[in-house]
Structure formats: structure tokens, C-alpha cells
Chains A and B, each alone.
Chain A
Amino acid sequence: MAKHEVKQVERVEPGLWEKSYIPEIARGLKVTIGHFLNNLRPNKEKHTTFTREYPDVPTDYYPDRFRGLHRLMLRDDGQVRCVACMCCSTICPANCIHIEAAEHDDPAIEKYPAVFVIDELRCIVCGLCVEACPCDAIRMDSGVHAHPFTDRGEAFLNRDLLMEMGGLSMAKQGGER
């Protein structure tokens, strides 16, 4: 039979002092009243509130891999990097990427997205589109929080808007670099 290691945990039996509750209740009240009074002080700096008043006050801290609004990366000549392969829209669990491919004039480039719309309200910010993209064309590192939209239509971010937030990618199309 396997030998089990038994860890003895010492139980702290409450004494009569604790069992009578009243002193312990008073101690608890001291803590809560302390918090209450502290957070009532006029000097807001001294408050111990954890709430971040986003979006009234911008957040001061984002983790490195924070996923914000999408952006579409650019080629060296400023054209959209996306080749309209549909990988992202296929994997998107929220079904919120709409792409219409069109033929590119440049024979070296097969397709480009004539229409590329992401519905940011439906997006669940999972980041799978970024993982799926074979050519580093879509990213979510813009650092911009999806802001509240007053109209559903505003949440459809189109290609040019997404490209405005984009930039040059470190990767070279077709490898190398």
C-alpha cells in the first residue's frame, strides 16, 4: 500500500472570549468602520478604493499582451497587408469579421480585401484572428479600448479605419527579413 503523508493541521479552538462573539464583532466593526470613514475623507488620495474610473480617467496600466481594438498592418508601400485568405473570419468564434476579396492589380499579389469590416460589438476579444493570420496582417495591440458606441453602426470598423491604426510589420511578406 502506498504510504500517505499525513499533514497534521493544528486546530485553533476558540476560547470563551472569542465564543462570546461580542469582542470579535466589535473588532470586525472596527475594521469596517475604519474603511468607511477612511473612504469618506475629503482627500481622495488617501482613499483605499480600488475602482478605476474608466473611461473618465484613462487606465494607467495595461498588461503587455493586452488586446485592444484591431488594426490592419501595412505593406512597405502603404497598401493593406492582408491577402484576404479568410483564415481570420473562418476561425472567428463570434463570426464578426466580414471580408470581400478582390483581385489585385499587381500580379505578384493574388487578392486583397476590398471590404474588411469588424463588428467590435460582437467581437469577444479572444484574439484567435490574430493567431490565425498567416501574414501578420491583423493585430490587436493598438492599446485602444473598445469605447462605448451610441449606435450599432458605429461599431463596424471598416478597412481604412483599421489601417489608420496600423503600421509596418516587422515580418516580410514571403519570408526573410
Chain B
Amino acid sequence: MPDIIVTLLNLGVVQILLIVFVFVMGLASMMTLLGDRKQSAKIQNRVGPNRARLPFINHPLLGIPHFLADGIKMVLKENIVPDGANKTLHLIAPGLVFLPALVAWAAVPFMDTYCAGEMLIDTATWTETCQGEEHRWFQIMNFNSGLLYGFAIASISVYGAAIAGWASNSNFSLLGGLRSSAQMVSYEVSLGLSLAGVLMIYGTLDMNEMVRQQGYLIGDWLPMWGIVVQPVAFFLFFLAGMAETKRAPFDLPEGESEIVAGYITEYSSMKFAVMQLGEYVATVFIAALIAILFLGGWQVPWLFADGFHFGSTVIELPYWLVIILRIGAMCGKVVLLVWLQFMMRWTLPRFRYDQVMTLGWKILLPLSLANLVVTAFIMALF
């Protein structure tokens, strides 16, 4: 590999560009089109956007020209700041929603450390050890409290929503901001508590380390993914995560039928787009968290650094292919989870606000506490 690329990789510039701008932004903006519009159309027996055309190409191209047209439209629209709004806060609120959602990606590993030396596989404990230099090339930042960091940063985005609601000088926005803060605060509790059981099992906050541990094969055949050892926590986390990202059926903060568009009512032009995009990025982030914590992150079942291990038979694969497979697995899992969240959105009707609160405080919270206690018991017994 040319030296310059290696240097950039070690600096983390390439990762930032690839992960944040290509994968996350690409996926999030594609979701606004394909996820929100095409997928819903398919579910509802419609065709979806197909009229916009690129110049000289007389083909709908899956509706992608619509997405470009939307972008141009957003940029060209007039930026309206309502009378009596707090101009500064109104301006920084979209950034406060958008930035944390992007910054949180720093801790997400897309692959294990790149091993320059030889990888040793211990089939007794199903662990890989690297003999030689390790490079953190597939994770922007490496630190041993990645999960805490991710959570801390992701919860900042509620400030964006609350400030946007307050600064807009509109009652709809204010209600939306209030609802959004209340909802985020209540679900953050179960979100964190549902993870406590998982943390007890893995015993680490380092996301990459967590994924490594999920490579262990129980009884030499069942991958020890989070969903296998903590099924209840997976369910709780998925639900709370959906509420956290304000997706339907929990999209109360922007319930169209009640409060127009909640805290984004008074936003227009690119500010509106940034707000929306921030929400989609948050959705992708939650999907990535679920993938890492419960679905084995970059692990492909039975795949280790030297190939597939089925019992004692080994199908040898070159290391570079393993890397590609693992990155593909991580991206694929995220896409699948995002798809599932959208499916939920188009399947379930919206909750009433008191029902959301009941669900959060009276059902999810006790359940996650019970899960924690049971896990602790089992851990203590074995």
C-alpha cells in the first residue's frame, strides 16, 4: 500500500470521509427517498416517485432523480425565520440536532483492527489474537468507553429539538419540543437499563471488544450474539431505540395531525433538510448500535480470520476477503435494521401521547429492570 494512504488511514481522515460522508450520509439521504417514499409505496401498493427524469435519460431510474430534485429544491427555497423568533438559537438548533448524530459515529467499528502480522485462532475459546502490529483502520476513534461516548453524544440531540421548539416562537413548535424532550428523557432510561445486562455479560464498554466477544461459538456452533444471550434486552433496546429516534409509531413530537410538524414547523429551506437528515442519521446510528450490541457487529457467523470454521472442517479464505466480508456484514446488518425500522413505521399506527409515556415508564422500565435482575442472578449462579 502506498505510504500516503497508510499515513492517512492512521490519521483517521480516510475513515471519517468514508464512514461519515459516504456510508452514513449516503445511507441517510437514500433513506429519505428509497426508504420513506419508495418503500412505503411498495407496501401500500403504489408506485412511488417516478416522474422526474435526468436530462437525456428517459428512465425513472428508481426515482433517484427525485432525490436530486429535492436537494436542489431545498437549497433554493427561501429561508424563513418567523417574527419574534430567537434568531441565534433558531439558527444553531438544526446544527445541534445534526452534529451529535454524526459525531457519535466516531466510536462505531466497521471491522476489527487490521492485523499486520499473523492471526492466531484458538478453537478452544474461539478467540483471535494478532501477532504483530494492529492498526485501527476501520474505526474512526478507538477508546475503551465507546458505548458511553455514543450514548452521551446521541442524547445531546434532544437539546437541538428542545431549542428549536423554544426558539421558533410558535406554540406548535413549543409543544413539539416539549414532547420530544419528555419522550427522549423517558426512553433514555430504559435504553440505558436494557443495556446493563449486556454490559454485565461482555464486561466492557469498548464496542470493538464487544463485537470480538460475540465471535465465541456456544457449543461450537451457536454464535454468542447479543440477541442469543439477551433476547429480552434486544427487544427492549429496539423499541426504546425507535422511540428515541422519534420514528413512527413514536413520532409524537411531530404528529402531523395534532401539531403540524412539531419542533420543525417553523423551519424551511436547508435548515429543514438538516433537521430531517439529522433524524435519519440518528436512525442509522441506533441501527448500528443494535447491530454491534446484539447482532454481532462485523462478525459473520463461523467466519474467523483464516476462513469459515464448521465444527472441525475449515474453509480457508484469504485475509483480505475476510475483511471485505466482515465490513459487508456490518453494513448489511445496519441496512437491514434500518429497513426493519421503516417496516415498523409503515405497519403500526401512532400511539397516543399518554400511551407512549405508559409504555416507557410502566412497561419498558420494569421489564428492563427485571431483565437486569435475572441476568445478574444467572451470572451469579454460573
Contacts and interface: CB of A to CB of B under 8 A. Distances in A.
B43 A29 contact: no
B346 interface: yes
B173 interface: no
B346 A32 contact: yes
A36 B42 contact: yes
Interface in A40-57: 40, 48-51, 53
Which 5 pairs of residues, A with B, have the shortest CB-CB distance?
A: A39-B42, A51-B47, A28-B347, A32-B347, A36-B42
A49 B42 CA distance: 8
B114 to A, nearest CB: 37
B64 interface: no
A92 B46 CA distance: 36
B343 interface: yes
A122 interface: no
B43 A36 contact: yes
Contacts of B344: 25, 29
A173 B43 CA distance: 56
Given A28-B348, A29-B343, A29-B347, A48 B43 contact: no
B312 interface: no
Contacts of B347: 25, 28-29, 31-32
A39 B343 contact: no
- A interface, size bucket: 10 to 19
9 contacts: A22-B235, A25-B347, A29-B347, A31-B347, A32-B43, A36-B42, A36-B43, A39-B43, A40-B42
Contacts of B42: 35-36, 39-40
Contact of A49 (B45, B235, B348): B45
A124 interface: no
Interface in B20-56: 39, 42-47
A98 to B, nearest CB: 33
A60 to B, nearest CB: 17
Interface in B94-118: none
Given A39-B42, A49-B45, A51-B46, 18 more contacts: A25-B347, A28-B347, A28-B348, A29-B343, A29-B347, A32-B343, A32-B346, A32-B347, A33-B343, A35-B44, A35-B45, A36-B343, A39-B45, A40-B42, A48-B45, A49-B46, A50-B45, A53-B47
Which one of B42, B46, B47, B343 has the highest number of Cβ atoms from chain A below 10 Å of its Cβ?
B42
Interface string B41-75: 01111110000000000000000000000000000
Contacts of A40: 42
Contacts of A31: 347
A131 B45 CA distance: 38
A31 B347 CA distance: 8
Contacts of A53: 47
B373 to A, nearest CB: 20
Residue in A31, A33, A39 with the greatest tally of chain B CB atoms within 10 Å: A39
Contacts of A51: 45-47
A137 to B, nearest CB: 38
Nearest to A51: B47
Nearest to B345: A32
Contacts of A49: 45-47
Contacts of A33: 343
A25 B47 contact: no
Interface in A1-41: 22, 25, 28-29, 31-33, 35-36, 39-40
Contact of A35 (B43, B47, B235, B348): B43
A50 B46 contact: yes
A31 B42 CA distance: 12
A51 B47 CA distance: 6
Contacts of B44: 35
A29 B346 CA distance: 9
B239 to A, nearest CB: 10
Contacts of A29: 343-344, 347
A25 B43 contact: no
Contacts of B46: 49-51
Nearest to B359: A21
Nearest to A39: B42
Nearest to B50: A53
Nearest to B46: A51
